[in-house]
Structures are given as structure tokens and as C-alpha cells.
Structure 1
Amino acid sequence: MRNKLKSSLYHFLSGTVGNVLVILQPEKARQLSKNRIALVHKHKNMGISDKLMRGALLKKLDRIDDHNTIAQTNREFWINKNATDLFSELEDTFNTDFLPNCTFVFELLKEELSNESEKYDTLVEIGTGNGDVLNYLSSEFPEINRFIGIDLSKDQIDLNNVKYGKNKKLEFVAADAMDWVKEHGQGKTIFVTSRGVLEYFLETQLQELFKDINLLGKTYFIAIEPNGAYHNFETNPSSQLYGKEPSFSHNYPHLFKNAGFSLWHFSQKVWFNGTNMQTFVGAKN
């Protein structure tokens, strides 16, 4: 009840005081809204006036329906320096979200690998961001020799190579995942995405990526990805738009199976106060 009252008060203030601040401080408003993805994500160092302006600006975002435009706009954000600022802002979510809510799926992966007769010697994280998850996985799977983090942002990759320079198992590469898989992918590899990577792929691109990975040979894939809270995979099997960014809520079980994978795990958790679901998929071929 208390959280509901706080939320109602915030929406009221952002709709009144926030709009006034946008009018009085047009340059500040322009800075806050210069990139749609950055505006949508909360910033931990924002003052109260910036938060109210942000709330007002979010309400004014135009709806975008063209999937190609959305995919291109999102790609342009993640490939440039703006992405490094957002990765820095989201750094604490490794401790507040990933560790308490997501690590269980890697414990399940350990059980799966214990039944394998073949050794998997490479783990690739697509959309590695600030590298925290990849670094964590390198300590959790000591039997794996190579941990490769791929990201579109060269600036972030450069930062990761400095930050984790002492961990010789880690390699960070600035590349498009689809291109990298075609050029460097190999069998006996575990692929991972964590909390918001595949949601920026068009459905056709994602299906192609999964099929290309399947052709590499024996592979595992763990996808930890958000879905729209109201996306029912049974009644609406195709990908849907969700969120203010917006991005894509994909039917991951369907796409993996269609690419030739079988699922060894599927579960969902409520995420972000019920507005999204966090989906966990474990697939193998």
C-alpha cells in the first residue's frame, strides 16, 4: 500500500511539477531526453528535480511501431559512447539483481555439464557490457579455459580490458555477435546473455543467430532476457514490442526449438515491480 501511494505521488508530481521544470529548464530537459534508452533507465545519481523532469519526459515519448527503425535506433545507442555511461549507471545491478536472482540457472548448468562426456572449453557472453558477469562466470567454471565477452561498444570493451587485465582467462572483443559467430564460432561452446541483450535483435535476426550457433556443433545457450509481462507465448507466439525504449519481447522457447535446440530449462520471474518478466532459458543441441 505504501509503495502504491509513493508511486501515485511520483506520477502526480512528474505530471505537474515535472512539466513546469521542463518548461523552465529546456536545456536540462534536452540533455535528459537526448537519447531514448538513457531516458528510460533510472539513474542512481539523479536529484529529485531531474527525476521529476524525467517522469514528465517519459510520458511524452512518441510511440514507435516500425520494428526496423526500433532495431536500428537501439543499435546506434549501444554502439556509441552513451552505452558506457549507462553501463556505469547499471553497475550495482550485478549485486542487487544478478547475484540474488540469476545465478541459480548457472548452478543448473553445472549439473548439465556434469553429465556430458565432452569438455566445453569456451564460454562466450554476447552483450558483455561492463564484464562483471563474465568475470564472475570465470570463477564459477574453473574447468573452462576461455571466456570471451562480445559487445558492440568499443569504448566499453577498452574499459573492460583495463579493468580485468589481470584475469588472463578473459577476452573482450568489440564486435557484432552475428558476425563474430559466423567468423569465429566453434563447437563445444557455451553462449550466455544476461538481462537485456537479445531483446534488441529483430526476430528474424535472432532466429538466424540461433541457427548459425546450432550449425557450429555441440553448444549450450543460457539466455536471461526480459519479456513483456503480458506476453503469452501460447496465444501470441510472435515477438512483440514492449517498454518505453521500446525493445522486443521474444518467444525464446519457440525460437530456440525452431533453430534445432532442445530446452533443458525454462522459467520466469516477475521483474521490475510486475511490469516485466525475467525469462530464463537453458538450451542445447
Structure 2
Amino acid sequence: MSINAKSTITTTIARILGNILVFILPNKAHQLSENRITLIHKNKNNLNIVERLMRYALVQKLEKIENHDTIAEKNREFWTNNNAIELFKETEETFKTDFLPHCSFIFEILKKELSNQSEQFDTLVEIGTGNGDVLNYLSAEFPQINKFVGIDLSPDQIELNNIKFKSNKKLEFVALDAYDWVKENGQSNTIFVSSRGVLEYFLEQRLQDFLNEINQLGKTFFVAIEPNDVNHDFDTQPETQLYGNEPSFSHNYPHLFKNAGFTLWHFSQKPWFNGGNTQTFVGAKN
């Protein structure tokens, strides 16, 4: 029997068992599926075998959403409420298990790029800072930068971050839409960062407008670490595509950055989450 055949049989059995468990344990099923995005991103390590099977069956049954405005609205609602805080808690260990071993390399390249600049970059802004761990890490990696701003849609998470990192005087956390923050506070000689799933929640036109706005600030750098659909070919498919069960947007990041007037100093991709998605790394400057 081939590997593909074994995989098909395994997933079929998992789906059948999961559906049976959902039927006989309706209260548990409701608890697991109370929020769409939480269900999708729920940390498997925090679930027992029964819950894993139920989660698998529930994810397979999620209603397909095609309308981009509806998707953006639902995702925004999620990231502004308490469900986002719970997800940040569940995925907290990914800073050590994913970011440090698989993503931090691009900041070593950024250091080399900055060393070739005659101007001083005095501010670093993380869009979608979440629990603040990445921003705190970057403040130690770039000691020459005086100000680190973490922006997030969740006021409650920002409050938690201000308590957690109160001893690091270089950090500032703000509960605001990133586009609004840039319009009100953006300035030249700033480095912008998004880490592992932030820009994927922007509508394509809003993301293009956002990058255009940043480009107009003056001298800026941007590091984007964003997931993409593994089947999204940037060379032949410049337009944004839907991907995943959330769903979210697989943007053609090189295309959008270049449209906004940036040049790329880095581009690479790696398999992510067991090959189901691709992690895209973009370094851009103007």
C-alpha cells in the first residue's frame, strides 16, 4: 500500500471517529467550535486524543467563506476581543519553537543591510505585536535603536504587554489599527516588522494603500514574515488568493511591495506547518 493510500485511510478514519464523538458529545463540540479562528489555531498539544479527533471533524465542516469583505470583518472582530488573548497564550511557545529557529535569520540579514546605511534608524514598529515577545527580542538585537513600538488591535493584550514588559523602557505598546497609527505617527528612518501572520488579514487594496502610505514617510525598511498558500505562484499569480479554513489572504508580497515603490533586499520561502503552507520572508526598503 502506498503512503498516499495510507494517509487517505488514516484521515478518513479520523473524520469518521471525530464525527461520532461530535454527535455523542455535543457540549464538548460546542466548546471547541465556539470561535472559528480559535478552533483552527487551537494548540494540538493542549488537547487530548478525543478533542483532537473532534477538532479535526469540526474543521472539515466549517462553512466556506468567499466574500473578501466578510472575511476581513470576521478576522478583525476576532483579533479585537478576548479570543485573541487566549490564542496568544496557547501559541506562546512558538516564539521559541518557530520564530527563533526558523525566522530570526532575516534579522541577521537586516543588521548587515543597516550597517551599509549612512542614516540612523531610530524607531522599529511591529505591526500585530501580539504578546510582545518578538518586539522584546528585537530590542535586545538592535541596541542602537531607541524606540520600539508594538501595535495591536487588542486593547486587553496591549494592557497585558505593558505590565509584562514594564522594565524595558524602550518598548511602547499601542492599541490601534496599524494604518491609523502610521497616518498619525509615521515618520522617516523607521523599520516596520510583521511576524508570522499579520498582513494576511489585510484586504489586498488596504494592504497596498498601507504600503504606499509607509513609502511616503521617507526612508524606511520593512521585514515581513507572512504565511502563503503553498500553491500560490508569485510569478504567474500576482493577485491575492484565499487560503486556509479561516480563511485569510495569500498576498503576492513582492508584487505589492514593488508596486508601492520599495525594492527588495531579501526574498525567500520555507515550508510551514508540515508543508501545508509556505512561510514567506520579505525584506524591503525605499
Smaller-chain TM-score range? over 0.9
Distance in 2, matches of 1:126 and 1:223, equals 10
Aligned position for 1:11: 11
Distance in 2, matches of 1:4 and 1:122, equals 50
Contact 2:241/2:251, CA 8 A, preserved across alignment: yes
Aligned position for 1:87: 88
Distance in 2, matches of 1:78 and 1:230, equals 26
Alignment of 1:176-255 (within 5 A): 176-255=177-256
Return the letter of the residue paired with 1:259: A
Return the letter of the residue paired with 1:14: A
Give the superposition deviation at 1:4.
7.5
Distance in 1, matches of 2:16 and 2:250, equals 32
Distance in 2, matches of 1:120 and 1:39, equals 40
The 3 A distance-change label for structure 1 pair 135 and 249 is same
Give the superposition deviation at 1:90.
0.5
Q: TM-score, normalized by length of structure 1? A: 0.96
| Per-residue deviation, residues 146-202 of structure 1 (Å, max 9, x unmatched) | 000000011111111111110110001000001100011111000000000000000
Give the superposition deviation at 1:13.
3.9
Q: TM-score, normalized by length of structure 2? A: 0.96
Distance in 1, matches of 2:265 and 2:21, equals 51
Unaligned 5+ residue runs, structure 2?
none
Distance in 1, matches of 2:5 and 2:87, equals 29
Distance in 1, matches of 2:4 and 2:96, equals 25
| Per-residue deviation, residues 223-281 of structure 1 (Å, max 9, x unmatched) | 00001000001111100000111000000001001001111110111111111110000
SS of the aligned residue for 1:113 comes to helix
Distance in 2, matches of 1:70 and 1:142, equals 39
Distance in 2, matches of 1:248 and 1:215, equals 25
Alignment of 1:43-122 (within 5 A): 43=43, 44-122=45-123
SS of the aligned residue for 1:31 comes to helix
SS of the aligned residue for 1:283 comes to strand
Aligned position for 1:42: 42
Distance in 2, matches of 1:73 and 1:227, equals 19
| Per-residue deviation, residues 31-89 of structure 1 (Å, max 9, x unmatched) | 21121111111323111111111001011011111000000000000010100000010
Point out the more displaced range, 266-275 or 187-196. 266-275
Contact 2:14/2:53, CA 8 A, preserved across alignment: yes
The 3 A distance-change label for structure 1 pair 132 and 206 is same
Count of residue pairs the alignment pairs up: 285
Q: Does 1:26 align with 2:26?
A: yes
Contact 1:13/1:52, CA 8 A, preserved across alignment: no
Unaligned 5+ residue runs, structure 1?
none
SS of the aligned residue for 1:236 comes to coil
Return the letter of the residue paired with 1:272: F
Contact 2:208/2:260, CA 8 A, preserved across alignment: yes
Distance in 1, matches of 2:270 and 2:209, equals 27
